[in-house]
Chain A
Amino acid sequence: MSAFWRLLRKELRELARPQYLIPLLMMPLFLVLVVQGGGAAEEAAGQRPVVAVVDNDGGAYAGIANETLHHRANVTAYETGFSRPQSVDLLEDGPAKLLFVLPENFSERIEAGQQADVRIYSTLQQVSITSGAQSAKARALLSAVDENITANVTGASPAALHPTTNTHTTFVQGTHVEASPGVLSGSVSQRFFFLGFVMVLAVFGSGTLVINSMGSEKENGTLETLLTMPVQRRTIVGAKLGASAILGVVLTAFYVGVFYLVQPNNGGAAVAQLSALDYGLVGLSLLLAIVDILALALCLGVFANDSRGAQSLLMPISFLMMVPVFVTNFFDVASMALPLKAAFYAIPSTHPVIAPMELAFGDTTTVLLGIAYEAVFATVTIGLTVRLFGSDRLITGDAGHLSVIFDALQD
C-alpha cells in the first residue's frame, strides 16, 4: 500500500469518529424541523376552515352570509340568539377555531346602505409565526360574504364584480417568466433557499471535520511523529484533503437526501426545472467549494493550538460561508454596491448557492465563471497549505503579523 493510501485510510478512520460525525449528521434535524414546520403551516392554510356561526339577525343578508360560510367552510355549529358568553363557549367547546357572530341589525344596516359589523373570534393553542394563517382564512371568508351580498344588493354579475383579470409576466436576467414577482419569489425561495442552506451546511461540515483532525493531531501529540515519516508533506496534505473531501461528499449526499426526503416537491412551477447537465454543474461547483473550505481550514489548522482552538479559528469562516444563503434570499445582489458585490462573489460558497437559480434562468456563463473562480481559489489555497506544511509554522504556530488575530481568537 502506498504512503498516500495508508495516510488516506488513517485520515478516514480519524475523521469518521462518532464524536465528529454525530453532530454533523444531527444537523439536518434542524432542517427537517424547519421544512416540516413550514409544510405543516402550508397544509393547515390550505385546509377548509372549521368555523362556528352565531346568527343573531335572521334577516335576508344574514342568510346570504350563512349560506356563503356553509359553502366555503366546515361549519360545526350554527346557533341563533346567543349572548356573547354563550357564543364564546362555542369556541371553547371546539372544534371550531373561528366564530362569526352576525349582530341583530346586520341585514337592516346593509339595506340602509351602511356597513354591518361582523364580530370574529379566534382561538389559538399557541401564538407562533403560523398563527397569521387563521386571520387570512377569516379575511377570505368575509371577502366571499361581501362579494355575495354585493351581488345580491346590486344584481351585479361576477364579471361586473371583477371586471378585469390579469396575466403577469416578469422579466428576469434576460428571460421572461409567466408569473408575478411575488409568485416567482415564492417559487425561487421555496426551491432554492433550503437547497442552498443544505449545500452550505455540507461545506461547513467538511471544514469542521478537517480542522478537528488538525486540532486533534496537535492535541494528541501525533503530528510531529507524522511529519517525520519518510513521506512528502504534499502527500500528507493530499491525504488529509482527500479523506475530508470524501466524507464531505458523503455528508452532502446525506444532507441533500434528507432535503429531498422532507421536501420532495421542491419548488413551484414558475421556474424551469434543471437538466442533468445543470445538476452536474451545481455538483461540480459544490465539490470545488468543499475543496476550497477544506484547504482554507487546513491552512487555519496549521495555527491551531488544539481542538478547541481549531474550532474557534473556523468560526468566522463558518459565518462567512453562511452569508450567501441569506444574501441571495433577503437582498438584491444586482443593486448592491460594487465592493459588497465583489465580497459576495469572493466567498467560495456563494457559487454553488447561486448556481441552481442562475441555471434555472439560463445564465450558464455566471455559473461557469464561478466554477473557474473556485478552481483558482482551490489551487491557490492548496498551494498555500502545502507550503505551510513544508515550513516549520506547523510546529511553531507562528502566523507572523496575523499571530495577534489568531491568538485572540483562540484565547
Chain B
Amino acid sequence: MSSSSEPVDIDGLTRSYGDVQALDGVSFTVETDEIFGLVGPNGAGKTTTLRILATLLEHDDGEVSVYGRDVADAPNEVRAAIRYLPAEAGAYENMTGRQYLEFVAGFFADNPEKYVERGVEIADLGERLDDDTSEYSTGMTRKLLVASALMTEPRLAILDEVTTGLDVRNARRVRDTIKAYPDGDRGVLLSSHDMLEVSYLCDRVALLNAGEIVDVGSPEDLCDRYETQNLEDAFLEATR
C-alpha cells in the first residue's frame, strides 16, 4: 500500500496474554480527516489495540497497518507517522515543561522551534512551563503531554484516555484542540470511558467488548440502531 492509504487498517487482529484472549479478530479502519473512538469497559482490549498500533506490543495474528506500513515489518516508519499518548504517561521529572517539549520535538525536526512554539500554545501553562515537571499537578502534566503529542502534527494521533486527570475547563480545552486536529491527511484514534466525550469528539466509534468489535458507526447511527438516547445506552444494548 502507498503512504496515502488509510491512517489505520486493522483486519482480524488477535492477541493473547497467556491463556487470556485480549483481542479476538478485531477489524476496523480509521480514515483521514476522522476522529475514531474505541469504546469499551476495562479489559475490553482498547489499550492493547492502541499499543499494537503504536508498535509497543506484538500481535499474534491479523494485519495491522498505519498509512499502509505494516506495524511489524516497518515499525520505525510507523513511529515516524504517529504520536502515542498512553493513559498513564508522565514527563521526565528533571526537565522543565519547555525542555520536555524541546526534547520530544527534536526527534521530528532538525529545527524544532516551530513545533515547540505550537506545543507551548497547546499546553497553555504560562510561566509554569519553565518549572520542573516534578512540580506539576496531574492536570498540568496531562496538558503538557497532550501538547507534546499534537505539536509535531503527526499524521495519526493515538490518544488513550486523553482527558484523564483534567478538570472540566481544561478537559474542554483539550477536546477542542483534538476536535480541530484532523485535516485532509491526518486522523485521530482515541479510547475513552467517557461516553459524552466520545460522542462529542468522534466521527465514528467502535464498540469493543471482551476483545471483539461489537459494532462500528457514528455515535448518532449507533444510537439510532439500538434505539437509545445516548452512546452509553447503545453500548449496553449492543453488549447485552
Q: Which of A369-411 contact B (CB under 8 A)?
A: 391-392, 394-396, 398
Within B46-80, the residues touching A (CB, 8 Å) are: 51, 54-58, 76, 79-80
B58 & A392 in contact (Cβ 8 Å cutoff): yes
Whole-angstrom distance between the Cβ of B204 and the nearest chain A Cβ:
24
Q: B237 interface residue, CB < 8 Å from A?
A: no
Q: Cβ of B17: which chain A residues have Cβ within 8 Å of it?
A: 396, 398
Known: A3-B107, A230-B80. A10 touches B92 (CB 8 A): yes
The answer to whether A6 and B89 touch (CB under 8 A), given A395-B51, A396-B57, is no
Tell whether B94 is near chain A: CB-to-CB under 8 Å: yes
Q: Is the CB of A392 within 8 A of B94?
A: no
B96 → chain A, closest Cβ, in Å? 11
B95 at the binding interface (Cβ < 8 Å): yes
A228-B83, A230-B80 known; A222 vs B94 contact (CB < 8 Å): no
Contact call B106/A230, Cβ cutoff below 8 A:
no
| A6-B86 contact given A13-B94, A17-B94, A228-B79, CB 8 Å threshold | no
Is B103 close to A, CB under 8 A? yes
Residue count of chain B within 8 Å CB distance of chain A: 30
Q: How far, in whole Å, are A17 and B132 apart by their CA atoms in the complex?
A: 13
Question: In the complex, what residues of A have CB within 8 A of residue B145's CB?
Answer: 225
Q: Roughly how many angstroms separate A17 CA and B92 CA in the complex, as a whole number?
A: 12
Expressed in whole angstroms, the minimum distance between the Cβ of B52 and any Cβ of chain A is: 9
Residues from chain A with Cβ under 8 Å of B127 in the complex: none
Interface contact B55-A228, CB-CB below 8 Å: yes
Q: Which A residues from 335 to 349 make CB contacts under 8 A with B?
A: none
Please measure, in the bound complex, the distance between the C-alpha atom of A37 and the C-alpha atom of B80, giving whole angstroms: 59
Task: Chain B residues near A396: list those with CB within 8 A.
Answer: 17, 57
Q: Which of A219-246 contact B (CB under 8 A)?
A: 220-222, 224-225, 227-232
Query: Which residues of B sit under 8 angstroms from A229, Cβ to Cβ?
Result: 79, 104, 107
- Tell me whether A221 and B107 are in contact (CB under 8 A): no
The count of A-to-B residue pairs whose CB atoms sit within 8 angstroms is: 71
Say whether A221 contacts B89, CB under 8 Å.
yes
Closest to B51 in A: A395
A104 within 8 A of B: no
**B-side contacts of A10, CB under 8 Å:** 92, 103
Q: Chain A contact residues (Cβ within 8 angstroms of B): what range?
A: 20 to 34
Q: Does residue B108 face the partner (Cβ distance < 8 Å to A)?
A: yes
Q: Are B56 and A392 in contact (CB under 8 A)?
A: yes
Q: Does B10 contact A (CB under 8 A)?
A: no
A1 within 8 Å of B by Cβ?
yes
A-B pairs, 6 with minimum CB distance: A221-B90, A230-B80, A220-B90, A230-B79, A228-B84, A392-B57
Binding site for A on B (CB under 8 A): 17, 51, 54-58, 76, 79-80, 82-86, 88-95, 103-104, 106-108, 145, 148
Q: Can you list 12 contacts pairing A with B, beta carbon distance less than 8 Å?
A: A1-B106, A3-B107, A10-B92, A14-B92, A220-B93, A221-B86, A222-B89, A222-B92, A225-B145, A230-B76, A392-B51, A395-B57
